[in-house]
Amino acid sequence: MKMPEILVKRAQALEDYYKVHYHGLAPLAAQCFLNTMETTVKELADGTYFVITGDIPAMWLRDSAAQVRPYVKYAKEDAELQKILEGIIEKQAYLVCIDPYANAFNESANGAGAKDDTLLNDHVWERKYEVDSLCAPVYLGYLYWKTTGIDSIFTETYHKMLRAVVETFTVEQDHSRSDYSFQRYDCVKTDTLSCRGKGRPVNVTGMTWSGFRPSDDSCTFGYLVPANMMAVKAMEYAAEVCRECYKDEELADKCKKLGEEIQDGIMEYAVVEHPKYGKIYAYETDGFGNYKLMDDANSPSLLAMPYLGYCDREDPLYQNTRRFILSLDNPYFYEGSLAKGMGSPHTPEGYVWHIGIVMQALTSGSREEILSCLDMLARTHAGTNYMHESFEPSKPEEYTRSWFAWANTLFAELLDQLMTEEFFTS
| Partners of 117 in the β-ladder | 183
Collapsing DSSP states into helix, strand and coil, what is residue 116? coil
Q: How many domains does the chain have?
A: 1
The kind and range of the H/E element at 308 are none
Please report the pLDDT score of residue 250 as a whole number. Answer: 98
User: Phi/psi of residue 404, each to 5°?
Assistant: -135, 90
Domain-located, residue 347: no
Count of other CB atoms within 10 angstroms of residue 370: 18
Domain-located, residue 318: no
Domain-located, residue 415: no
Residues 304, 231, 416: CA angle, nearest 5 degrees: 35
DSSP for residue 293: -
Rg for the chain, CA atoms, rounded: 20
Domain-located, residue 111: yes
Count of other CB atoms within 10 angstroms of residue 78: 17
Please report the pLDDT score of residue 348 as a whole number. Answer: 97
User: Mean pLDDT for each 10-residue chunk of the chain (426 residues)?
Assistant: 94 98 98 97 97 95 97 97 98 98 97 95 98 98 98 98 98 98 96 98 98 97 98 98 98 98 98 98 98 98 98 98 98 98 97 98 98 98 97 98 95 98 93
Domain-located, residue 11: no
Count of other CB atoms within 10 angstroms of residue 26: 19
Q: Pick from 67, 205, 54: which is nearest to 139 by CA?
A: 67
Domain-located, residue 30: no
Please report the pLDDT score of residue 114 as a whole number. Answer: 85
Please report the pLDDT score of residue 2 as a whole number. Answer: 86
Domain-located, residue 142: yes
Q: Pick from 424, 420, 302, 419: which is nearest to 356 by CA?
A: 302
Q: Yes or no: say if 318 and 312 are a contact pair by the CB < 8 Å rule.
A: yes
- Domain range for 268: 41-293
| Partners of 272 in the β-ladder | 280
Q: Yes or no: say if 388 and 344 are a contact pair by the CB < 8 Å rule.
A: no
Please report the pLDDT score of residue 1 as a whole number. Answer: 78
Angle between helix 156-171 and helix 225-244 axes, rounded to 10 deg = 140
Please report the pLDDT score of residue 62 as a whole number. Answer: 97
Q: How far apart are the C-alpha atoms of 306 and 302, rounded to whole Å? A: 9
| Partners of 278 in the β-ladder | 274
Q: Which CATH number is 218's domain given?
A: 1.50.10.10
Domain-located, residue 210: yes
- Give the global pTM: 0.98
Residue ranges of alpha helices (H) inside 149-187 are: 156-171
